[in-house]
Amino acid sequence: MTTPEIDALEIEHTQVGILTITADSQSVRGVYFGTLGQIQSRFAGSPLKDGGQNPALKAASTQLMEYFAGERRVFDLPLNLDDLTPFQRKVLLLTSQIPFGSVVSYGQLAMKAGSPGAARAIGAAMAGNPIPIIIPCHRVIGSDRSLHGYAAPDGITTKAILLQLEGHNIVAQKLA
């Protein structure tokens, strides 16, 4: 099996800092917090190239900027989740169905995934989400409405910013 060429595109000036999107010729493969230079080491086997002409990257960039401007509530992009386990894929597909402005608990998501009591495994799947924001793992919170970890440089602060963009009030790292 050959490794697909992966293109990358940076988005500057978002409420959560610089984002780098990666895509193959047909679908989005990743959204990373940081610059292309900062994430390049993750792709040592296949260097990223400038994807300014990649249609999947253009569409993702446009939709993310619309989201940050408050103009988009639903992402409509082809996503590549081939590198995930079946459980991770199932959990992230369920997560992608959480509507804008809504939240679910890790336990509720475990129930929906058919794995009651697997809240920690749900958390691990969230931590391994290769396409955050577009697959809105920030909408998954603790059963007590508290914010738990988020795989971004500023962690819970970034999660809080995203939830506030969607109309939530956050007080002491908890939905008010």
Q: Which residues are catalytic?
A: 137
Look up residue 158 and give its DSSP letter. H
In this structure, are residues 8 and 50 in contact, taking their beta carbons and an 8 Å threshold? yes
Backbone region of residue 117 per phi and psi (left: phi > 0; alpha: psi in -120 to 50; beta: other values)? left
> CA-CA distance, 18 to 39, in Å (whole number)?
11
d(CA 38, CA 34): 6
- DSSP structural state of residue 145: S
CB 42 within 8 A of CB 30: no
